[in-house]
Structure 1
Amino acid sequence: MKILLTGANGMVGKNILELAKQHKHHFLTPSSSELNLLDNASVQKFLTEHQPEMIIHAAGIVGGIQANMAQPVKFLVDNMQMGLNILNSAKTFAIKRFLNLSSSCMYPRDAQNPLSETLILKGELEPTNEGYALAKIAATRLCEYINQEQPELLYKTIIPCNLFGHHDKFSEHNSHMIPAVIKKIITAKEDSTAEIEIWGDGEARREFMYAGDLAEFIFYAIEHFDRMPQNMNVGLGTDYTINEYYQRIAEVVGYKGAFKHDLSKPVGMKQKLIDDSKLKAFGWSHKTSLTSGIEKTIEFYLSEKNNDQFTN
């Protein structure tokens, strides 16, 4: 198929393209200047000229707690606008297959874990990333509505757990936890820093999947798209505490210092573990262990350490 991949320059997009060499599909990977998802006219022009048979929507404004709290307007408005533009335009052009990438951030903050797909809009959202979550919920619901009105249009959503891996952002200010901690611990080891700070008590639980595994799932989904559920979690079905992630990364890096907790800092949801029942029934499971994924990610970080993306 001819597949339009939005967000081809992001972590998920780059991991998909790394694996694309093993498959026969032709990927359209426009830059933001070639396809401005915030401009509906630009979206319609691109679809008119290139006529993809499927769209994988992986573009978005992403970041950790600090970034979400600092720019809630951008996380809501830009992500909402991109989702609405690409979905409405795909519907207008009768593109039959659309895979929307959402996030487990859109589940209610106090929902019982593991988080099943039926919990969307069943409770208050986590305030620290509410804007991002609202945008993801809107795109997910729009996929459902389009399919309800036109069943021949298979517009489906996957809900990945937290991700890490190759092509991640390694920054303490705008990245997710694992890459930020990798950079922090490697820097502490290099500088012989005796102590590292952890936000909160470190007992919040998170589920992180290696991004290369998500890319493998994407190709599995493409081949079995007709029988894939409307909304489906994609993750491990296993989680760890923040403290455990710090400890595992420190072990791999060889950092021997201590950890201290800053209880004044926000920690987000206490737990965010997806229910992988539908995923198992769909016939797919992840391959990369946490330790192996951390090792591969550290190797990538060290090999790319002098690139601009790590100094910004």
Structure 2
Amino acid sequence: MKILLTGANGMVGKNILDAAKKHSHQFIAPSSQELNLLDFNSVQNYLEQHQPEMIIHAAGIVGGIQANMAQPVKFLVENMQMGLNILNAARANKVQQFLNLSSSCMYPRDAANPLQEELILKGELEPTNEGYALAKITSTRLCEYIHQEDSSFLYKTIIPCNLYGKYDKFDPKNSHMIPAVIRKISEAKKQELSEIDIWGDGLARREFMYAEDLADFIFYAIDNFSAMPQNLNVGLGTDYTINEYYQAVANVIGFNGKFVHDLSKPVGMKQKLIDDSKLKAFGWQFKTSLEQGISNTYQFYLSEYDHD
């Protein structure tokens, strides 16, 4: 199949392209210079020219709590524009299959865990990343509406839990938790610090999946696309506390100092665990343990960022 992948330069995109080497699909993976998703005409012309049979939409403006709180306009407007442009152009060009990547931050902040796919729009969103969540909800609903109006369009959404892995960002200002912790603990070990601070009490629970596993899922989904549910959580179905993640990273890196909690800092939602019953019924399960994933990610960090 000829598949257009947006966001090929991001962590998810690069992991998908790595995995693609083991499969026979033909991938088109334009840079943002070649395909400007913020400009509808650019998207329309690109699809007319290349005629993909399927689109995987993995592009997005992403970041942790700090980035979301600092730039809510960008997170809402640009993510929404990209989603609307690529979906509307795909439909106009009669692309029959569309796999939309969303996020578990779409779920209501007070929803009962584990989070079921049916909970979208059933309550208030978490304020720290509301703009991003609104954009993701819009694309998810638009996929549903397009399929509703014409069932020959299989436009479906996967909702991954938090991700980490190779090609992650390790910049403390805009990285997600695990890469930020890897960098923080790695630097603390180098500087021989005796303690590290953790935002909040460290008891909030998070579910993090190794990005290579998500790429593995995506190829499973491509092969079984008509059987895949309209909206599908993709994750582990199990979670850990922030404290446990810090400890797991410390174990891999060999840091023996202690952790101190900074209770003045924001922590986001108390828990964000996806319900994986539909995922299991669809026949897929993750492969990489937390320790193995952290170890692989740390090796990647050392090879790319830590050259002293």
Task: Tell me, yes or no, whether TM beats 0.5.
Answer: yes
Deviation at 1:212, TM superposition (A): 0.2
In the alignment, structure 1 residue 102 sits paired with structure 2 residue 102:
yes
Specify the alignment match of 1:68 in structure 2.
68
Specify the alignment match of 2:143 in structure 1.
143
Specify the alignment match of 2:128 in structure 1.
128
In the alignment, structure 1 residue 192 sits paired with structure 2 residue 192:
yes
Specify the alignment match of 2:176 in structure 1.
176
Q: What SS does the aligned partner of 1:295 have?
A: helix
Q: What SS does the aligned partner of 2:121 have?
A: coil
Q: What SS does the aligned partner of 1:5 have?
A: strand
Deviation at 1:306, TM superposition (A): 5.1
Q: Distance in 2 between matches of 1:205 and 1:66?
A: 18
Specify the alignment match of 1:299 in structure 2.
299
Task: Give % identity.
Answer: 76
Deviation at 1:305, TM superposition (A): 1.2
Q: Distance in 1 between matches of 2:202 and 2:128?
A: 17
In the alignment, structure 1 residue 116 sits paired with structure 2 residue 116:
yes
The one-letter amino acid paired with 1:157 is: T
Q: Distance in 1 between matches of 2:16 and 2:32?
A: 18
Q: What SS does the aligned partner of 1:82 have?
A: helix
Unpaired segments ≥5 residues, structure 1 = 308-312
Q: Distance in 1 between matches of 2:204 and 2:172?
A: 18
The one-letter amino acid paired with 2:72 is: P
1:160-309 equivalent positions in 2, closer than 5 A = 160-305=160-305
1:263-297 superposed Cα distances (whole Å, 9 cap, x missing partner): 11110000000000000000000000000000000
Q: Distance in 1 between matches of 2:211 and 2:32?
A: 22
Q: Distance in 1 between matches of 2:244 and 2:306?
A: 28
Runs of 4+ residues over 2 Å off in structure 1? none
Q: Distance in 2 between matches of 1:178 and 1:34?
A: 31
How many pairs does the alignment contain?
A: 307
In the alignment, structure 1 residue 2 sits paired with structure 2 residue 12:
no
Specify the alignment match of 1:310 in structure 2.
none
- Give me the TM-score of the superposition, normalised by structure 2: 0.99
Q: What SS does the aligned partner of 1:215 have?
A: helix
1:51-105 superposed Cα distances (whole Å, 9 cap, x missing partner): 0000000000000000000100000000000000000000101100000000000
- Give me the TM-score of the superposition, normalised by structure 1: 0.98
What RMSD, in angstroms, separates the aligned Cα atoms of the two structures? Answer: 0.7
